[in-house]
Structure 1
């Protein structure tokens, strides 16, 4: 049974500590007794010259009793090992929940006892409100779970659910292991007891993998809905069990894996599939994909053959004579289907080596088509739905692959680095989406191109080291490599001008928020010291400013960075004022150019952006290196007031219908500049009073406005 969030985060691990120590003493004491029985009683019994009618019986009895001491020791040692591993696993899960809770609070989110996440209204002068606060109890759901933060909230809830599921898996395995060690009532000590929980889980994993294989080896007509339901149960129960995953994968083999999934999807085999079976197969896609991903990360030598064979089968056609003759998917399409779902979610995390080798081969095969990628749509030319329903199977294998890549930033960095002069990145971001774009008809729930949505997530992972789906995870990789890929992306995307893909706006905006300190340095440093090309950056920011979410995300994130820039005591106060103004001016000029270009969507997004409220605070923090620290520091000095000023200006621009004037950008940012002036003066009043031109807040504001109006100078 899965524990609740409240049960796990309040778990008293000290109780398990006591049980572990008690059983440690027990098995150590039995070890001494077993040694005495073995070296004393048993040895003497076996060497003695027994005589009389009871000689054989007595010797056997003494030897058996000595053996019981050994079995008792092994069983007690096993119980200690199981409890010790369980304690360590639950402690790890509890600590990860505590980390999520603390990071959530730093971004204005609260987790209830049931694991439900909300964003209660914040007062910067008060501590985070409790979800049990009666003042919050009557608030409507949209107030506590605002739409602009819903994706962030649901992502956090998914992370919580995953940790609770992992804890439940360990708890269930420990219960089963302890029961098996104890044995049925009235039986003696167990022979061959496990040493610890890992050993027990390995044994259970292999046993259940055999059950799963038996369910998967029949023909499609033989695999009932109940079989699929049981298979999903086994895959879920062992979601973190590497022994289960590797035994299942290697037992199926690469070809068997693809043939099984091919049969499950083949429209000719699933023509009578009802809603129940469709859902079972949709669940199976996620569960089986997650299991295969775990197997590729296991390090098991047997998986090397599976991975190599899987890649070799990528260019082979599947389908069978008993199914739909129009169904002939490539191995790459089937495997990629097990990497990502129709909703744009990765099924699991796959190993870096497998992802990079698979990606290299996939790209080579696709680019060898004439034109590149043209054969993917020939995989299925019929009209009947696949086993998962209409349009659930992505003909473009890059969709699932890129989603899997986004969950492994190290692999993403390696893939986007391939080729000379960023040719792989150029292909993925631009060339692949050209006049004869590959399967652009495969859209997401938001009617964007599904493969580009996934590619954007992978690009974000490659250029930041972040997993966009788990921002609480530590970034991986080297900063210099991320910087290089960031600049390559800016150079490539700047050339697209108004053909900049809509799907890339949000991930590129998040990328720039992550590199926000370099963004500010690009505004302030001499030409030969700038970390980014200012012209490329301007062109890309202009395109980002055409979309509501991307525009708001970038500006919110940069407000955090500018707050940190001003309040950093190592920076010269005069420089921070100029740099802040030029950064704001740069952002505003790009927004104005987006509006002047006649982008209707930019005009619409301006109105939408004005509807953002202070509840949106923190939505950009997850992309900022050390974001929790920046937010905490900012909250203490009123960064929320800076963002509130930006929001007020957005509203005023709409209400007063301010003209898009690049000559007087400061006029558009009155409230925001006032908030930054207050912030700067509180931080630097003593310095300003002795510096000509900075001796009053009015002088500071005038200098800030001048810097804003110079912001477009490239």
Structure 2
């Protein structure tokens, strides 16, 4: 019977806490009794001169009694350890579910209903006179809360089941015989169960696979690494790990697999990946030996089989790549593997793909997620791994490469290139078609799409390296830029500013310009631009590096203005990149304007001039974005107005992140919305949406090279609104001065937007 929402909310866990304390006393008492039995009667029995019946019966009885007392202590200690671990975990989960179903649900105006079987549904109660119409934001928030509560219930059910199972095994079911399974922690029992299931391999039932996933999900990411390390050690080493994962992934992605099985395999891939990252981190309290990394590299070019008489065997790296795609890996483990795989690819781009069996029937192979390739080419996999591992990706792209032999051992000398950024952006670098999609070579569109997988993964890796966050960590706060990250951004901007053709995307057959191999990474380049908005705004009008008008977040990148403009021109043609840049630009400009008006040391007499300076760079970037958007739609035919407009809805994170970067600038002042981080966030996002929807031009205007009047109007309005926000709580500036400041902002925005659009048009003509 499943643990229900009502069970978890209403159970009195204080009683369990009392039981834990009682068992601790029992353990202490039995420890003393066992010690006394060992040093007392057992020792005397061993040293006595027995004769006759006593030599066998009595001595044996004493030995058995002493052992039974020791076994009782071991059993009691096992029960205590399991309960002691389970109790605080359940207390924490109970608090989480009470908070979620109480204050969180109340804030959303929803009611939490227990539907049994460990599930709840959240509903909006009907209020008389209410239309019951809900916004998408409200519906999304309700769904998130419902999923969160169900996740807590699932975790609690797993802890409850693990504790019950461990207690049964500790007791053994024999009232007259102590001494059965013993555990030093609840993790011991959970790892034991996970390994019991893993030994069944692809013979695990769907229910058992679900149980396995729960054990891995809720325990594999624990900070001390105990469960993850015990699990991987219990599998039998790196080769056995690869055999198990290969067997499971092929079973779960075969044409005969049900949707339930495939989804469970997607979960297994993630859960095992996160656990492997945990277990291979040398800084966790419990971790695998460093030899695991060397063994994985050795096995990378060896074929792995899991069935007797198996014909088609994948290489180790093809299998391992599926696990590496999930988890934040330590650079000491990941970087040597990533370097080795990259160098193998450079030597022979088709070494791994040629090992793919003809007519292979699996859908996703060793990458059940299906994202960015089937997993047959491990290069995509290690780039995705770097995309989730910021420290590893930063070192990978900023430190000198290490050469490796084919067996994964370190080789003396140079690998033949000086940086991985240079290697991957070489126009002659071979990107492969890594997919099991049908008729891939006969379908040009499928081939083109598959060729973007590698560059997109490269973008993710660079995004991680330059931001200090996993590329898909949308909720993460900004992390101050190190000099190494900022220098890497400058190298990226220089690379694509000098060679924009590498990321150009053209679908217009009338224009004799081929698409560059790397256009698939432009969305990530847009995120990098948004992250380094201060550096890009400095570059627009060549702001002095010592100026504090446009602060950078950490170390400055020192961008080349010409390269920055050309870089933006190409990157802005991607709808996602355009939206990220536009959103971050408006948020950053709003922050700069606020600092000018409300910051220390301002002078009312010169505010109009300072405001002109404050809005000019962002407006110039808006002009570049307007021109790039028109190029994408009318020149290269790679996107539509609808795609540009829809992409903006998902960029709220950049408003919050950019405002978070500005906390140091505005100090302790409490601005418009009440808190520094939440300052005018929704208002700015609404302004961004209006600007993006307004930033359009007709095909006739584009062909005539006309100015983008709608986009220009949007930039003017955005500047005016930035000033208005800053003035809301300011009582020191009179209305006449305020109007003068707004006028200055509008004028500067219009001129600078035209500047940016003109720069872009002129560069297009060259």
Specify which of 732, 746, 754 is matched with residue 705 of structure 1: 746
Distance, in Å, in 2 between the alignment partners of 1:86 and 1:279 is: 30
Deviation at 1:176, TM superposition (A): 1.4
Distance 1:531 1:576, change over 3 A: farther
Matched residue, 1:366: 345
Q: CA deviation at 1:349?
A: 4.9
Q: Which residue of 2 aligns with 1:82?
A: 82
For residue 439 of structure 1, the aligned residue among 433, 442, 447 is: 433
Distance 1:447-1:97 versus aligned 2 partners, 3 A rule: farther
Aligned equivalent of 1:644, options 686, 690, 694: 686
Preserved CA contact (<8 Å) 1:545 1:591? yes
In the TM superposition, residue 399 of structure 1 has moved relative to its aligned partner by 1.9
Whether the 8 Å CA contact 2:86–2:159 is kept in 1: the answer is: yes
Residue matched to 2:543: 526
Taking a change above 3 Å as real, the CA distance of residues 25 and 157 of structure 1, as seen in their structure-2 partners, is closer
How far apart, in 2, do the equivalents of 1:95 and 1:411 lie?
Answer: 36
Q: Paired residue for 2:390, among 397, 402, 409? A: 409
Distance 1:278 1:252 in 2: 30
User: Is the contact between residue 530 and residue 584 of structure 2 (CA under 8 Å) also seen in structure 1?
Assistant: yes
Say whether residues 1:334 and 2:319 are aligned partners: yes
Query: Are the aligned partners of 1:543 and 1:594 in contact in 2 as well (CA < 8 Å)?
Result: yes
2:354 matches 1:378:
yes
* Residue in 2 that maps onto 1:466: 469
CA contact (8 A) 2:530 2:585 kept: yes
| Superposed displacement of residue 186, structure 1 | 3.6
Q: CA deviation at 1:700?
A: 1.0
Q: Residues 103 and 138 from structure 1, CA distance in 2 versus in 1: closer, same or farther, beyond 3 angstroms?
A: closer
- Give the Cα–Cα distance (whole angstroms) in 2 for the partners of residues 232 and 479 of structure 1: 42
- CA–CA separation in structure 2 for the residues paired with 1:61 and 1:710: 97
SS at match of 2:432: coil
Cα distance in structure 2, aligned partners of 1:159 and 1:701: 45
User: C-alpha deviations, 1:105-143, integer Å up to 9, x for none?
Assistant: 9xx99998589xxxxxxxxxxxxxx96354798447856
- What is the CA–CA distance in structure 2 between the aligned matches of 1:51 and 1:550, rounded to whole Å? 89
Counterpart in the other structure of 1:125: none
Tell me what 1:674 maps to. Answer: 720
Give a deviation string over 1:664-685, Cα, whole Å, max 9, x none: 9753424323321211222545
Offset at residue 356 of structure 1 (A)? 0.9
How far apart, in 2, do the equivalents of 1:102 and 1:426 lie?
A: 54
Where structure 2 has 5 or more consecutive residues not aligned to the other structure, the ranges are 115-121, 221-225, 281-285, 402-416, 441-445, 504-517, 547-555, 664-670, 760-766
Q: Which secondary structure does the structure 2 equivalent of 1:546 belong to?
A: coil
TM-score, length-normalised on structure 1? 0.73
From 299, 308, 313, the counterpart of 2:294: 308
SS at match of 2:419: helix
- In structure 2, what is the Cα distance between the partners aligned to 1:92 and 1:512? 40
Q: Structure 1 residues 234 and 664 mapped into 2: Cα distance closer, same or farther (>3 Å)?
A: closer
The Cα of 1:311 is off from its aligned counterpart by 1.0
Compare 400-409 and 514-523 and name the one that shifted more. Answer: 514-523
Secondary structure at the aligned position of 1:699 is classed as helix
CA distance in 2, matches of 1:34, 1:47: 19
Partner of 1:354: 333
Match of 1:177 among 166, 171, 182: 166
Which of 181, 185, 196 pairs up with 1:196? 185
5 Å matches for 1:549-628? 549-568=576-595, 570=599, 574=607, 577-578=611-612, 580-595=614-629, 597=631, 599-600=633-634, 605-610=640-645, 618-620=652-654, 624=658, 626=660
Confirm or deny: 8 A CA contact 1:314 1:331 kept in the other structure. yes
Shift of 1:699: 0.7
**Are residues 59 and 100 of structure 1, via their aligned partners in 2, closer, same or farther at CA, if it must alter by over 3 Å?**
same
- 8 Å CA contact retained: 2:16, 2:87: no
Distance apart, 1:353 and its partner CA: 2.5
* Residues 16-25 or 670-679, more deviating: 16-25
Deviations 1:560-590 (A, max 9, x none): 3334444455465548734541243122121
Contact 2:299 2:316 in 1 (8 A): yes
Question: What is the match of residue 505 of structure 1?
Answer: 522
Cα distance in 2 for residues equivalent to 1:470 and 1:7: 33
Contact 1:677 1:701 (8 Å CA) reproduced = yes
- For 1:42 and 1:178, locate their aligned partners in 2 and report how far apart those are by CA, in whole Å: 29
Contact 1:30 1:69 in 2 (8 A): no
Maintained 8 Å contact 1:595/1:602: no
Cα distance, 1:275 vs. partner? 2.5
Bigger drift between 676-685 and 627-636 goes to: 627-636
- How far residue 364 of structure 1 moved from its aligned partner, in angstroms, is 1.4
Distance 1:104 1:570, change over 3 A: farther
- Displacement of 1:416 in angstroms is 2.1
CA 1:159–1:590: 2 relative to 1, 3 Å: farther
- Residue 633 of structure 2 contacts residue 640 of structure 2 at CA under 8 Å; is this kept in 1? no
Q: Structure 2-normalised TM-score?
A: 0.68
Pairwise CA distance, 1:424 = 0.5
Alignment partner for residue 545 of structure 1, among 565, 572, 580?
572
